[in-house]
Structure 1
Amino acid sequence: MYTLRQIFESFRFAWRALKSNILRTVLSLLGVTVGIFAIIAVLTLVDSLEKNIKDSLNFIGTNVIYVDKWPWLADAEGEYRWWDFWRRPNSSYNEYKFLQENLKYSTNIAIYADKGRMTVKRDNNSISDVRLVGASEGYENIFTVNIDNGRYLTTDEIVGGRDVVIIGYEVSKTLFPNDDPIGKVVKIKNRKFTVIGTVKKEGQSFMGTPSNDYVTIVPYTAFRKLYQTGSGRWDEMESSIGIRGLESDLGLVELENEVRGVMRARRGLRPSDKDNFAINRPEALANIIGNLFDVVGIAGWIIGGFSILVGGFGIANIMFVSVKERTSVIGLQKSLGAKNYFILFQFLFEAIFLSLIGGLMGLFLVYLITFIPLGTLVVTLTVKNIVLGLAVSSAIGLISGIVPAAMAARLDPVIAIRAT
């Protein structure tokens, strides 16, 4: 109890010392403020940029692998052998059904195709640059399709290839500005489709990736009436097969191996033959993005580290001056029975207070950045970065103040009292 009271008294002495020299305190913590601001600002911008980019890639789904004609990334040697890929057969509807019947580690599977820059009409209204998607069963479980009004495609509509359509927010707003679109008819390539549902507004993504605001979703078999796809020919419109696995990396690895084996068997490939299909995983893109921003984060630490270093030297210098100014007070305190740790904590707390206040000011400046409009980039100061900023500033205060505080604690009381 006595020790705790002594530590509390050390806090009070340190706080009084800081308040008695306001100007010097402010000048001392500016270095730490700039350092913490530089580090946390860079980390916050990097984290926000990474999150916005990954959110923009949500349209390709999570825990999903894709069976495609083309791989998304170059091979291990950094080479993209397009000349080996262009004559590959496309994913076919029969392969989709074969995978659906034979996969054990999948939770959902769908085949889909899409065509961009479509024009959708309704009477005298029309909207261009719309993405037309032909979706099979399970598509809504691979991708996010938030129905705002109406309903999703039924199994009978998908299997029967009925001329029904789900439209995005902007499509609905343009073609039906004052009407409920459900049950109304729109034209796609001069073919009539009945609207059965609308998708919730998503808004523009950071990277301008496909948005469901400008989408029309029709049954896959209805899409095949408009465009040749799904037969496996290399020269037709491409289809992709999306397969959702279990919610774990191990589950996706098992699924990927299983898909590779089933596809090789379906296409009659011999053990010595190379795959004539690609298995793509969104996690590969996420890992590349994560590695890139790790490098940027390290650069931020280096830039802010120099400022923090200057701030630390500034606090250490002020603490040496403070010890010199209060030498006689220290001698008087020790002569009255103050323990060495009381003097040590007194100056150590003062250094930590200085650094913490500077860190809080730096974090406040970063917080102000989050209110600056940066287009579609949403900047967020996370709890992780706040804790990191406070931890770094506390550590700098501790390191900067330990030597001056130790010197003050070891002063001889008789010599210290005589100091002027």
Structure 2
Amino acid sequence: MKFLRQLFESIRFAWQALRTNLLRTVLSLLGVTIGIFSIVAVFSFVDSMNMGIREQIDSFGKGVVYVGKWPWVMSNNYPWWKYINRPTMKYSEYKYLADNLENSQAISIIDGRITTLKNGNNSMETRLNGVSYEYNLISEVPVEDGRYFLTNETDNSAFVVILGASVKEALFPNMADVIGQTIKINGIKFKVIGTMKKKGEDLISLGGSPDERAYIPYTTYSSVFQKDYPEPDIAVKAFDWDKGQETLEGEVTGLMRSRRGLKPTQESNFSINRLDGAVKFFESIFASMNVGGGIIALFSLLVGGFGIANIMFVSVKERTNIIGIQKSLGAKNYFILFQFLFEAVFLSLIGGAFGIFLVWLMSHINFGSLKLTLTIGNVVIGLMTATVIGIISGIIPAWIAAKLDPVIAIRSK
């Protein structure tokens, strides 16, 4: 009980010392404030980018494997001649997988190209995607007005189209409801059956901005646009219980090899790709950014730490006489040590808290497609780092103060 009372007294003395020397306290905070601000800001930016990219990649299909001619990740010496001679994916193979797969939620065949859409004198060059019926179960197609494709439209080559928000605005600048209107693609009339919600800018652009896309049935796309260089992919969505999509990938591999008549000794002439490869790629970049940002911020913290240590040495020198009086009245060494150590920690924590406050203010700034978020985890990291800096900076001055001889200390001026 006595120890706790003296501990509380040490905290009170430390706080009074900071209030008494307010100007010196504020000046000594700057280094720690800048350092903690740098660390928390870097971690917050990296976490926010990571979160945004993960959300965007998930919108293209979480738990989805893509079967295609080319692998998405290649080594520096990849055998391109081997891949270029592979057969492209066929609609009949998509139907075969759709009829025989047992471990999939949904399956769709996809292909696309850049082309020009026209409505009278208005036109826009955009990404036109041909998709089969279950594509909206694979990837996000946020229809705002109108509807998605019907099965008879995707199976029977209907000339219908769903427009992205920017495409709609470009082709119909003065019209709110465009459902039922017609546009021309390659001189062929297509009926608008749906328009999508405006998404805005993305951190990364996988296949172009969603607002600048248009969708038509795959059967229509293949008959009109796929005559030259067809490169379709078959997207298959796994069940939620199939973590890592290993069961689905094994089944797809077996069915595709059987369909193409490959012998056990023959290499697969198709590739199975996942979006988690892109996630891992970005995670490696973000890890490097965290390390680099942490190193840069460390230099600011070193400057702040030296500043606090210097202030603490000055504080010990100024209060040597008071330390001697306290010791002569029975104050223990740990009471004196805690008194100065708490003062250093308070200095560092106040500076750290102000740095975190600056990051919080910055999170309200519009950074376009990046939404900066200050997480509890990063706040804790900032405060813990400030505490450690305060302890390291204050331990030596506090130790020196605790070891002062009371007689010599009282006689000092």
Q: Normalization by structure 1: what TM-score?
A: 0.89
Question: 2: distance between equivalents of 1:323 and 1:45?
Answer: 40
Mean CA deviation greater in 245-254 or 199-208: 245-254
Measured at CA, do residues 104 and 408 of structure 1 come closer, stay the same or move farther in structure 2, by a change above 3 Å?
A: farther
- Equivalent residue for 1:399? 392
Do residues 153 (structure 1) and 149 (structure 2) align? yes
Q: Which secondary structure does the structure 2 equivalent of 1:107 belong to?
A: strand
Deviations 1:86-142 (A, max 9, x none): 121111112112222332332221111112122232xx2432212222111210011
Q: 1:190 and 2:187 equivalent?
A: yes
**Could you tell me how far 1:347 is from its partner in structure 2?**
1.3
Which amino acid in 2 is paired with 1:26?
V
| Aligned residue number for residue 171 of structure 2 | 175
Equivalent residue for 1:39?
39
- Specify whether residues 247 and 2 from structure 1 end up closer, same or farther in structure 2 by C-alpha distance, changes over 3 A only: farther
SS in 2 for 1:116: strand
Q: Aligned partners of 2:303, 2:192: CA distance in 1, in Å?
A: 65
How far off is 1:16 after superposition?
1.0
CA offset digits 1:302-337 (Å, max 9, x no partner): 222122122222212222222222222223223334
**Bigger Cα displacement from structure 2, 175-184 vs 138-147:** 175-184
Does 1:245 pair with 2:238? yes
Distance (Å, rounded) in 2 between the aligned partners of 1:170 and 1:338: 74
CA contact (8 A) 2:37 2:355 kept: yes
The equivalences for 1:106-125 within 5 A come to 106-121=104-119, 124-125=120-121
Question: 2:40 corresponds to which letter in structure 1?
Answer: I
Distance 1:36 1:150, change over 3 A: same
- Equivalent residue number for residue 88 of structure 2: 90
Partner amino acid, structure 2, of 1:190: G
Partner residue in 1 for 2:202: 205
Of 300-309 and 410-419, more deviation after overlay is shown by 410-419
Higher deviation after alignment, 313-322 or 145-154: 313-322
Quote the Cα distance in structure 2 between the aligned partners of 1:167 and 1:383. 40
Report if the CA contact (8 A) 1:91-1:241 is conserved.
yes
**Which residue pairs with 2:15 in the alignment?**
15
For residue 69 of structure 2, what is the aligned residue in structure 1? 69
1:332 matched to 2:325? The reply is yes
Contact 1:28 1:311 in 2 (8 A): yes
What per-residue deviation string (whole Å, max 9, x for no partner) do you get for residues 332-382 of structure 1?
223334344332322111111111122123223434544555554444433
Q: What are structure 1's unaligned runs of at least 5 residues? A: 230-234
* Structure 2 unaligned regions, length at least 5: none
Letter in 2 for 1:30: L
Correspondence for 1:263: 256
**Partner letter of residue 20 of structure 1?**
T
Aligned residue pairs total: 411
Change (3 A) 1:59 1:85: farther
1:2 CA displacement: 4.7
Structure 1 position 143 matched with structure 2 position 143: no
User: Bigger shift: 51-60 or 79-88?
Assistant: 51-60
Q: 2:123 aligns with which of 127, 134, 138?
A: 127
Match of 2:104, SS? coil
Deviations 1:158-208 (A, max 9, x none): 222222221111222233322411222222223222222110001122344
Distance 1:117 1:192 in 2: 14
Amino acid at match of 1:12: R
Q: Structure 1 stretch 334-343 or stretch 266-275: which is displaced more? A: 334-343
- Equivalences for 1:50-65 in 2 at 5 Å? 50-55=50-55, 57-58=57-58, 60-65=60-65
Amino acid at match of 1:323: V
Q: What amino acid does structure 2 have at the position aligned with 1:145?
A: V
Q: Distance in 2 between matches of 1:263 and 1:120?
A: 39
Greater Cα shift, 387-396 or 185-194: 185-194
Question: Would you say the 8 A contact 2:201–2:368 is kept in 1?
Answer: no
Alignment of 1:6 with 2:3, yes or no, is no
Q: CA deviation at 1:279?
A: 0.9
| Mapped partners of 2:203, 2:79: distance in 1 | 30
- Measured in 2, the distance between the counterparts of 1:310 and 1:248 equals 51
Return the offset for 1:26. 2.2
Contact kept? 1:245, 1:251, Cα under 8 Å: no
Distance 1:172 1:163 in 2: 17
- Give the letter aligned to residue 200 of structure 2: G
Q: Does 1:291 align with 2:284?
A: yes
Shift of 1:57: 4.2
Query: For residues 213 and 409 of structure 1, what CA distance do their matches in structure 2 show?
Result: 67
- One-letter amino acid of the structure 1 residue matched with residue 187 of structure 2: N
The 2-side partners of 1:63 and 1:56 are apart by 13
Equivalent-residue separation in structure 2 for 1:25 and 1:400 (angstroms): 14
Kindly indicate whether the alpha-carbon contact (under 8 Å) linking 1:105 and 1:251 is maintained by their aligned counterparts in 2. Answer: no
Contact 1:73 1:80 in 2 (8 A): no
